[in-house]
Amino acid sequence: MIARPTLAEADLPPHSMLERPPGTRSTPALVLGAACLLASTAARSQELEPKAYTNLPTGLNFLALGYAHSQGGLATDPALPLEDAHLRIHTGVAAYARSLDLWGRSGKFDIVVPYSRLSGNALVAGQATTRDISGFGDPRLRLSLNFYGAPALTLPEFRSYEQDLVIGGSLQLGVPAGQYDPNRAVNLGTHRWTLKPDIGFSKAFGAFMVDLTAGATFFSTNHDFFGGQTVEKAPLYSVQANLSYVFAGGAWASLGSTFYSGGRTTADGVRKDDELGNSRVGLTLSLPIDRNWSVKLNASSGTSTRTGTDFNTIGLVGQYRWGAGV
């Protein structure tokens, strides 16, 4: 399971930064740095995404560039005959998102394209093996819609909006376009389509915010798996909770945890004993720079592991936003 980036909730600066003195124009800042958020290739339900369902002014565009580093007991798929894996992954990412007006409710579309370098060693079928590879991972597309508590608002309308309870859902598609070699045990792509519906809510309590999400990831069959196998993967179910606090000036911090189970594989008709039942915990810190720029730092680690995915990740995200009069 390798780490790959995701675009989480799109940050906005505090309302004071959205106000513009008459006759002035916004000036873009310099690029602050590279970034990426937490993720996994085989099970995107492991992502920790605080504030995933919140309101945004419609017509905003977001560009994120980034970097993250992961290492530990990583593998591309629990069905692999992989033991004692010690892998290191350096991942860069380009991500784009746009806030939408969907039938009068706020929504968002985002796309994430990762590029990684993976190196390390493991025992493959009992034999010591090393791997050093660079390439693109599987891109991901997602459409989100807030059903309740988050009407579609222009930027002037949004300045007077105060969140209470927001309920939303999303549909995420993983495209098997990443680097993949069926003769190798460790790859950056998964060579299978994934589809993840998700539903969640976000509730504000003054400066605090609590959000809870639940989802299921469905996998297509990989007919060209390592060693010429045909591998099917059962759905992977996940739930996550985050507690966030917004500081004066618009910075915020979040503590989150996720649990995911399922995903048992069947290789050439033989069911594997590789069902996941794992959990992770993570921290996120978001810092607004001005009305256009923000920086996000995050870290996560496995807390309990039944099969695979026992790894640590640290990342940095620089995000630029424009449009809608910002």
Closest to 316 in 3D by CA, of 98, 60, 93: 93
* Model pTM score: 0.84
Query: Number of C-alpha atoms within 13 angstroms, CB side, residue 293?
Result: 15
Q: Which two tokens stand for residue 205?
A: 């309590």
Tally of structural domains, the chain: 1
Q: What is the CATH number of the domain that holds 286?
A: 2.40.160.40
CB 210 within 8 A of CB 201: no
Give the SS3 label for residue 20: coil
Q: What is the per-residue pLDDT for 28?
A: 29
Strand ranges, E, within the chain = 61-73, 82-102, 105-124, 127-136, 140-148, 165-174, 194-205, 208-219, 222-225, 229-233, 236-246, 252-262, 265-267, 270-271, 276-288, 293-304, 310-322
Tell me the percentage of the chain whose pLDDT exceeds 70: 79
Token pair 């390592």 is at which residue? 226
List residues bridging with 54 in a β-sheet.
none
Helices of type H across the chain: 15-18, 155-158
- What is the DSSP track for 158-203? HTT----EEEEEEEEEE-S-S---TT-S--SS-SS-EEEEEEEEEE
Q: What are the backbone dihedrals phi and psi of residue 199, each rounded to the nearest 5 degrees, phi first?
A: -140, 145
CB 67 within 8 A of CB 91: yes
Cα separation, 250 vs 258, whole angstroms? 25
pLDDT digits (tens, 9 = 90+) for 273-308: 878 888 899 999 999 999 899 999 999 987 766 555
Q: What is the per-residue pLDDT for 25?
A: 34
* Range with lowest mean pLDDT among 228-232, 245-249, 274-278: 274-278
Closest to 223 in 3D by CA, of 190, 196, 195, 194: 190
Higher pLDDT, residue 123 or 137: 137
Q: Say yes or no to pLDDT of 243 above 60.
A: yes
For the residues 249-253, what does the mean pLDDT come to? Answer: 93
Q: What is the per-residue pLDDT for 227?
A: 81
Cα separation, 176 vs 158, whole angstroms? 38
For the residues 90-108, what does the mean pLDDT come to? Answer: 96
Q: What are the backbone dihedrals phi and psi of residue 15, each rounded to the nearest 5 degrees, phi first?
A: -55, -30
Asked if residue 185 belongs to a domain, the reply is yes
Q: What is the per-residue pLDDT for 72?
A: 65
Q: Say yes or no to pLDDT of 8 above 60.
A: no
Helix (H) or strand (E) holding 35: none
For the chain, how far is it from start to end, CA to CA, in angstroms?
39
CB 144 within 8 A of CB 169: yes
CB 213 within 8 A of CB 239: yes
* Range with lowest mean pLDDT among 1-5, 94-98, 162-166, 177-181: 1-5
Q: Say yes or no to pLDDT of 42 above 60.
A: no
Asked if residue 5 belongs to a domain, the reply is no
CB neighbours of 226 closer than 8 A, spacing ≥ 6? 80, 182, 183, 184, 185
Asked if residue 103 belongs to a domain, the reply is yes
Asked if residue 255 belongs to a domain, the reply is yes
Asked if residue 263 belongs to a domain, the reply is yes
Asked if residue 248 belongs to a domain, the reply is yes
Asked if residue 3 belongs to a domain, the reply is no
CB neighbours of 96 closer than 8 A, spacing ≥ 6? 7, 61, 62, 63, 64, 110, 111
Q: Say yes or no to pLDDT of 47 above 80.
A: no
Domain containing 288 equals 15-22+29-322
Asked if residue 65 belongs to a domain, the reply is yes
Q: Say yes or no to pLDDT of 131 above 70.
A: yes
